[in-house]
Amino acid sequence: MNQGISVFFPAYNDEASIAGLVGDALAVLPSLTDDFEVIVVDDGSTDGTAAVLDELSREDARLRVVHHESNRGYGAALRTGFASATKELVFYTDGDGQYDVRELARLWPLLGEKVDIVNGYKLQRADGWQRKALGAAYNGLAHLLFSIPIRDVDCDFRLLRRRAVERVELVSSSGSICVELVHKLHRSGCVFAEVPVGHRPRAHGRSQFFTFRRVGRTALDLLSLWLRVAAPGRLNGENVLPR
């Protein structure tokens, strides 16, 4: 499969990890295809992330950087990434380096003619008990409220066909966009495949998402999203059950 691919990373205060992630992407992509681009969406970082990215882009024209002037939220960063992608396939993962972008090579062979999205799932979460508990609660709530065809909606390690993403309108600005994305792709008829991937301890900084305050806010966002996009279908008698 020699299709073109856009790889993008949403980044917020990832000064210490983003250069390594970009380097790993540029190292693995030539083994998969000769038509690729790497994009980083800097979501209004307040550390040195912007400066690191600008220097990297001056050194390598295969990297394109998009800057948000202020922090708009994880969902907004993803929407910018999808809008910036120009290739037939799109892959994204987070800029904090907890996933090894080189494992994209494990997803690549599964994106056959009848598959639209290949999603990773964590073999073992490399976090403390609080983040593990919050992650399990979030994943459980998402499966309870929405039609989710994959086991780990919290695993942001996704390879998608761009035309599939273009079928749906994404509106979330918070971390709930991952549920919105998977739910809407599933409801549009997309076919998913899954593959296990590694998960590494966070080496630098703190998570911007898995704090009790952020998860509480995202839970409210999930409920609001459910009222807008999932509840109407169930009230109308659509036979769509969460997995």
pLDDT at 235: 47
Predicted confidence band of residue 212 (pLDDT cuts 50, 70, 90): low
Domain region containing 16: 5-234
Domain contains 55: yes
Q: Is residue 198 part of a domain?
A: yes
**Lowest-pLDDT range, 63-67, 85-89, 153-157, 197-201?**
197-201
Residue 208: pLDDT band (50, 70, 90) is low
- Nearest Cα to 171, choosing from 161, 163, 181, 186? 181
243 occurs within a structural domain: no
Question: Distance between CA 84 and CA 49 in Å, rounded?
Answer: 19
Residue given tokens 């202020």 in the structure block: 70
User: Residue 176 sits in a domain of what CATH number?
Assistant: 3.90.550.10
The answer to whether position 142 is within a domain reads yes
Strands 117-122 and 157-161: antiparallel
How many structural domains does the chain have?
Answer: 1
Amino acid found at 231 = A
Does any domain span residue 113? yes
The number of beta carbons lying within 10 Å of the beta carbon of residue 174 is 20
Quick check: is 187 in a domain? yes
77-102 pLDDT, tens digit each: 999 999 999 999 999 999 998 999 99
CA distance 171 to 8: 19
Is residue 179 in some structural domain? Answer: yes
